[in-house]
Chains A and B, each alone.
Chain A
């Protein structure tokens, strides 16, 4: 029975997953992820892809909100920047996705750093309101994009979905092919972000969150690291946005309104602030909840008349209720619940 953290070698001290149960769980999850697409139909593949893309975006937002402590209500705007950058490149230049996705991510990182500028003077509530303004301004730019040569919605050419010259259809249907793209990018994101918080920059982010003045006193350059946090966070928002653009084939600004920003905030609050795995749990919860509700509603359609017409309100209400209940009863999110379960079994039968 594991009763504490006892590292005897340096290698085990720096390892991300030092214990055998953790490694076995990771391998199990990976094996499941690898065999899942061969058995799932397109409905489930679509859900899985949506979750993977949302998880990338949520991890990005968690870097900013959970790890650096800067509240942002503008994530939807950054997703839009990524999606439209990728879309415009694919439409106007005919660029393939393996070029547009990285470029869109970097462009979004730059835009994010720009809109992070108010964070140099503001914090807490005031910063949240500033990011709300940036969200509204980005959406205004998109809806009045004729001035800038952007249409309100874009259809991406199918031919842009190719990796290094190989068309993606070669892998199978759209959902199946994108499953592998999304999964790969999600795994890379998880590895990158988990390691980010063991580097100088990551430690600086956490220091800023915990006590910004103290961080400045010990030599963390607030100006630089706050902007870096905004840029890194937006980089993943751009990645998620560009992936959405290529996966859906059609993008329009309605996908990226303030409701989207709120959805992503809800994901990381419900999943767990300051936790990479929490972002994934939160994304899964927030994507599966409406899907589950619509399935239940369809099953109950004969028993309860008109339930499907009320479905949008049920979903919206459940969304709001989930946020409120989690914040009141488990503010640390799904990650804490999962830890409680693990602790229960680890300590059993001595629960104290």
Chain B
């Protein structure tokens, strides 16, 4: 039972981070139909920017984190303006490839600046453990979960009540109609990329504190976004959250209960991905508009 609770709690914490990263992915897909293969690299950049602000420039950490979040939002908008804007109207494969090229470029830039050796993460989350239901859990993981929930709350309010948020939902719903109502689709895309970069940065900061360091490998989470969004539905925000939690839990249980030398934690999400695609390609909450031939 202890083990179960332990695995469940760490799975939920990881799942919350996955959900954050997936949320940005879904936002971009919903508003501009772009499958973003560079989501993991946005996370990497966010984590490194935070490291640079707090450790290298020695800024007081709340200010450093805010600065890093703002900077990564700027990076997100720049990417949208410079790289994705010229790709409007190009076939799906070109758009996919351009984000793949982007991910390679971003990884090269972070690698050239910060190298391959893992950098120690700035410690601003407490590292002690608490006992919940007989299981020892790091407080940082609880923080991760709490922060993720808080961010979801803020984003939900943003989408429900703010002008920009409502405009984004309108564009996601019907681009033509939104355009004719005077909504600037271009602004919406820029905002979508900015939010995606921000959620990825927060995910990156949380991941970095849990791992205790930042290196190129944490960008690999970008690939895990695909099982999450397919499970939840490619265009569903609640789907991204629930999908993230499910995938996080499954990874944790598969890695914890099955023999470790099988490495099941790495492959289970992708097996699920294939199964979901075969059985229910629109996922749990996605719109059933997928074409079948």
Contact = CB atoms under 8 A, between A and B. Distances in A.
Nearest to B103: A320
A137 B270 contact: yes
Contacts of B277: 118, 121-122, 126, 129-130, 133
Chain B at the A interface: SS class: helix
Contacts of B35: 125, 128-129
Contacts of B223: 132, 136, 258
A265 B97 contact: yes
A118 B291 CA distance: 13
B108 A123 contact: no
Contacts, number: 142
A213 interface: yes
Contact of B281 (A126, A265, A320, A328): A126
Contact of A323 (B97, B290, B291): B97
8 contacts: A65-B93, A132-B223, A133-B226, A133-B227, A133-B274, A213-B293, A222-B293, A265-B100
Contacts of A126: 230, 234, 277, 281, 290
Nearest to A143: B263
A262 B96 contact: no
B90 A327 contact: yes
Contact of B104 (A129, A213, A320): A320
A324 B290 contact: no
Given A314-B108, A317-B109, A266 B97 contact: yes
A264 B116 CA distance: 25
Nearest to A310: B112
Given A118-B277, A122-B277, A133 B270 contact: yes
Interface of B: 35, 83, 86-87, 90, 92-94, 96-98, 100-109, 111-112, 223, 226-227, 230, 234, 261-263, 266-267, 270-271, 273-274, 277-278, 281, 290-293
B98 A323 contact: yes
Contact of A121 (B86, B234, B281): B281
B105 A320 contact: yes
A231 B201 CA distance: 41
A121 B278 contact: yes
Given A212-B293, A324-B102, 17 more contacts: A121-B281, A125-B92, A128-B93, A129-B277, A130-B273, A132-B223, A132-B273, A133-B227, A133-B273, A136-B270, A140-B267, A266-B97, A269-B97, A315-B108, A316-B108, A317-B105, A323-B100
A18 interface: no
Contacts of A134: 274
A328 B290 CA distance: 28
A45 to B, nearest CB: 28
Given A122-B277, A144-B262, A273 B93 contact: yes
A197 B291 CA distance: 27
Contacts of A143: 263
B87 A144 contact: no
Given A71-B93, A133-B270, A310-B112, A320 B102 contact: yes
A327 B263 contact: no
A96 B93 CA distance: 39
A180 interface: no
Given A122-B281, A125-B92, A320-B108, A130 B100 contact: no
